[in-house]
Structures are given as C-alpha cells and as structure tokens.
Structure 1
Amino acid sequence: MASALWRSRRPLHPQRLAESLPQVMPAVVRSRGYLWVATHPDAVISWRSAGRHLELRQAGSWLEDGDTGAWRAASSERRTLASWHWDDHYGERRNEIVFIGAELDADRLRAALDTAVLDDGELALGADRWADLPDPLLGTAIRDPGAES
C-alpha cells in the first residue's frame, strides 16, 4: 500500500474535477479530505471514498475573518488548522485529500487534480461568476434571490 497527499489553494472547477476522476480513482482503496469547489465557494465539501464508492457532501462553512461566533463554535483543532493555513485573501479555503491504494501513481494523481483547479482567468472572474460553472457532481449552488447578479 502507498499513500499520496494532494493540496491546492485554488478552487476546483467541478466539471474538470468530474472529468479527472477516471485518472484519479482506479488504484485508490480509500481517500479522505475536503474541497473548495468553485460553485459552492463558502461550503466545506467533504471527500470520502472506500473502494468504488465516492461521497461528496457539504460539511459546514469555511471560517471567515471577523466571524467571531463561528470561530468560537469551531473546535480548538479546527481553529488551529485554520490559523496554520490562513491566507489573507481566501481565509482557510483550500483542497486537501489523502489517498491510500495499491500501485498509486502519486504524480499522475496530483497532475490530474491539478488540471481541475481554476486557471488564472477563471479565478479572476470571482465567486459570483463561478456559480455559473457546470457542476455534475454537486449541482447548482442555491443563490440568494435578493443578491444582485
């Protein structure tokens, strides 16, 4: 058995993530982590797999600077990890998945996931435009009807 860790500080394009799964998952026995998906920019998306089963599920919200209630409600471990990984622009948002499997090709796995993150042009569009990206994995984010487009 081998393991591989993949991390990224850019949000994932959900369509490209879906397209990368055939390259990522074949040798994976188990994996676990969390994602920052562009169509759901405020949601922590948990990633869990066992065998051929992959589960993506909303697991709360990313901590925001100045949201003292959320920081107080978070576990001490979560607050510590958030402070270690804090980015002045994106806060604690990031992708991090650990893969365990037989005959894992860690470089190929990471390369496939790296193609799924937003490029510079997509990143520059901002979260309002990311909501319009096709999302075959999680579906369309619920938009606030009172928000301006």
Structure 2
Amino acid sequence: DTLQSLVEYITHFASELFEGTGTPCRLDMPASLPARALPPDVRHNIFLVVKEALTNAIRHSAAKEVHVRARVNGAGFEIEVEDDGRGFEYPITHGSRAGNGLGNMHRRADAIGAKLEVNSVTGKGTVIKLAAPFPKGVDV
C-alpha cells in the first residue's frame, strides 16, 4: 500500500465518520502524492492516530467544524486534525483516564519514528499534527 491509498482511506473514513453528526469535516488532501510505499505497521499506526484524533473531536470538542489536512514535506509527510471546539489543558495529568487516547497516540507515533504535536487552547480548539518520515529503502 502507498501513501496515496492511505490518504484516500483516511478521506473515506472521515467522511463516513462525520456523516450525520451535524459537524462538518473539511478535507484538504493533495490530489496526487508521491508514489511512496508504506509498510503495514506504519500505515496502521498513522491511521489509528488520525482515527483517535477524529473520534476525540466528535466526542469531546463540541466543535462547529473539524479540518483534516495532509501534505508532503521533503523527507516525509504530515497529517493534521484541527477543531474549533472547547479545547483542553495539555498535558493532561498522568493517571487521568481522559489522557489514555493521547498517550496511545504518542506511543503509536514513537513506534514509527514520527513526531506528534498536540496544541490545545481552552475555548479555542485543538490541533493534532503527526509528522512522519518516509521509511528508508521502501519505494513503489
């Protein structure tokens, strides 16, 4: 599987997830991406980070809109999920059940050598950005 197919899958998933929620999900995805193969563990972890971010936006943010962006940046790519919801204090104290999803997202990013940034402002929303390098020695 390729980066292109992963982005298409995320686009389809987000569209279906937000259908009927009353919250629009804007998708800003490149029409074409480099032909880069992604190993199964990389694809799986990226998808689960994005899925958690989208699910959290629906469940917890009370957002009026959610925006998903993907872009390529030289040695890798970024996927960003932004909402204009209630935001939260970050970092959440360890041991809080409310932080389990974020902890899992960080572990998944670490497992594939990616960087996860969480920026949240109470009353203004949250941005979760996953920046992942292209795996070395893997081409289509």
Per residue, is there more helix in 1 or in 2? 2
Bigger-Rg structure (1/2): 1
Given the two structures, how large is their TM-score scaled by the length of structure 2?
Answer: 0.28
Pick 1 or 2: higher relative contact order, CA cutoff 8 A, min separation 6.
1
TM-score, normalized by length of structure 1? 0.27
